[in-house]
């Protein structure tokens, strides 16, 4: 007897349907699992990508901050150097103008008298008695020299002599023993650091 004859057509159809259903279920489960895996992989990939992008942005920000800091430091250095150059030029120009102004004051008789009177009073206060030699411009007249002596007055132990010096264009230079009181423009402007500081302070206030 043929075993196939034992299975009716209805049973055969039912069996085929069951097999087909099982295949669909298994296929659906496989597809669902694959989709879950795909979503998990995509989510992990996105997370990894976001993390890397965030890290890259942080690196770029740090590098940008370093570049900005370097640029600011370089800018500050250049600004300080420029300020120093301008200050040096300003001091040089101011010293030249001061020298010209002192020479101009010496050429004016009234200002020259004030100058020499101030020098005479300073000599009395600062110089010890002894031989005082007054070095002066060649065009400083004898009447002016007598006025200088009158301002000093009678001083015990003081012997004053005058010596014209072609190297002195303005002002007076007094030599007494080991002391020298230089009231020429060169002497008055000799303390360049203090004068420069005063000039810069005046410029800042302006």
Query: In a structure prediction context, what are the per-residue pLDDT tens digits for the chain, which is 206 residues long?
Result: 455 455 566 666 666 677 777 777 777 776 777 678 767 777 776 787 788 877 878 888 888 888 888 888 888 888 888 878 877 787 778 888 888 999 999 999 999 999 999 999 999 998 999 999 999 999 999 999 999 999 999 888 999 999 999 999 999 999 998 899 999 998 888 877 777 777 777 667 76
pLDDT value of position 154: 86
Q: Report yes or no: 72 and 185 within 8 Å, Cβ to Cβ.
A: no
Distance of CA 59 to CAs 55, 104, 182, Å? Answer: 6, 66, 66
Q: What's the CA gap between 109 and 117, in Å, rounded?
A: 12
Alpha helices in the chain (DSSP H): 9-107, 109-126, 142-152, 185-188, 192-205
Q: Is 169 strand, coil or helix?
A: coil
What secondary structure letter does DSSP report for 174?
Answer: E
Q: What's the CA gap between 115 and 117, in Å, rounded?
A: 6
| Domain chopping of the chain, boundaries | 7-107, 109-205
pLDDT value of position 158: 92
Kindly indicate whether the domain formed by 109-205 is annotated with CATH number 1.10.30. Answer: no
The Cα diameter of the chain in Å comes to 169
């Amino acid at each position: 007897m043929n075993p196939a004859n034992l299975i009716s057509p209805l049973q055969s159809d039912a069996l085929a349907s069951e097999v087909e259903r099982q295949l669909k279920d298994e296929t659906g489960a496989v597809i669902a699992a694959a989709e879950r895996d795909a979503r998990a992989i995509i989510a992990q990939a996105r997370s990894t990508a976001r993390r890397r992008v965030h890290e890259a942005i942080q690196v770029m920000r740090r590098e940008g901050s370093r570049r900005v800091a370097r640029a600011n430091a370089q800018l500050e250095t250049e600004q300080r150097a420029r300020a120093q150059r301008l200050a040096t030029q300003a001091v040089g120009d101011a010293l030249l103008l001061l020298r010209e102004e002192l020479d101009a004051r010496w050429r004016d008789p009234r200002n020259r008298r004030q100058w020499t009177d101030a020098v005479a009073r300073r000599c009395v206060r600062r110089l010890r008695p002894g031989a005082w030699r007054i070095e002066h411009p060649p065009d400083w007249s004898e009447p002016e020299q007598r006025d200088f002596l009158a301002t000093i007055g009678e001083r015990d132990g003081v012997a004053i002599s005058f010596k014209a010096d072609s190297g002195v264009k303005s002002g007076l230079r007094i030599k007494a023993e080991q002391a020298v009181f230089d009231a020429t423009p060169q002497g008055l402007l000799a303390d360049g650091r203090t004068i420069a500081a005063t000039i810069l302070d005046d410029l800042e206030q302006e």
